[in-house]
Amino acid sequence: MDMQITGRRALYEAFDPYETGQLDVGDGHTLYWELSGNPEGKPVVFLHGGPGGGSSPEHRRQFDPDRYKMLVFDQRGCGKSTPYASLDANTTWHLVDDIEKLRTEVAKVDKWMVFGGSWGSTLSLAYAQTYPDRVTELVLRGIFLFDQYEVDWLYKEGADSVYPDKWDEFISLIPEDERGNLVEAYRKRLTSGTAEEQLPAAKAWSAWEAATVTVLPSEETVEHFTSPEIAVAIARIENHYMANGGWLEEGQLLRGAEKIRHIPGVIVQGRHDTCTPPKAAWALKKAWPEVELNIVPDGGHLYNEPGILDGLIRATDRFASQ
């Protein structure tokens, strides 16, 4: 149901991690992680979007630092994790294993809350369905189930009807005879040549995503997504996952909802989210009727839009004492 627009919550005041480090997870990958908040507080792991988006200092500010022990990390190949933009041994199931390793070796907790938005919601569901006894609650935003219609919406037909001008910019890099499969066309350009040669395709891929994630145009968002230090990891890793269907069977996360129905959960979904439209969130609600679905009437995709952020922080505040 639609959330009521009332006095809205904002990010907690900025604070620094109390511990940071690098975890060797094998396959040549090392993950950057940080622990913040109260070392004796309620454990939570934050799963960023993308894939390949990396974490930011603002992400930890969605949790009360007096009541939560937060683990935020950069997934394989992005942010401060190494090797940068690597596609080797970088799949959904590698990341699920990484989360479990972070729980036991870094956070050193028996169970924790799992919080993720966009691709982070996909990864949260995959992890929770694999390790349901390790998850105390789920807080999810911008549901993406990695079913084919969701990929087609972004890269075949759907979102182009909302952003036809930005779509034309996105496809302009690709010759007409390759436009029948844009994910594959971009894959060729993002996996061949030098990083410098990949950059135009990376910027175009990331600019298209940036266009879909805000209700109103945001130059700041576009600049962030298309900056060279961000664009290559987002584009290469995201395209890699799209080309491989997220290593998930069609409908797998919906079928797996039966495994997590005992876990308290909240979904915050923007009504006008054109990156991950509400259809997937509604399908998940029907498969998991116990979850609380809050549809933000003036919300888009990004976590820091006022209505989305309000819903997320209300959820983390509520779960903090449980």
Active site residues: 118, 273, 301
**103 close to 134: Cβ distance less than 8 angstroms:** yes
Strand 29-37, strand 68-73: pairing: antiparallel
**Residues listed for the chain:** 322
What's the CA gap between 22 and 81, in Å, rounded?
8
**129 close to 260: Cβ distance less than 8 angstroms:** yes
**69 close to 41: Cβ distance less than 8 angstroms:** yes
> How many of the other CB atoms lie within 10 Å of CB of 112?
22
> How many of the other CB atoms lie within 10 Å of CB of 274?
20
Q: Per-residue DSSP letters for 183-211?
A: HHHHHHHHSSS-HHHHHHHHHHHHHHHHH
* Integer CA distances (angstroms), 206 to 96, 221, 253, in order: 25, 10, 26
Which residues are 68's β-sheet partners? 42
**183 close to 151: Cβ distance less than 8 angstroms:** yes
Q: What is the dihedral of CA 157, 160, 164, 169, to 10 degrees?
A: -90
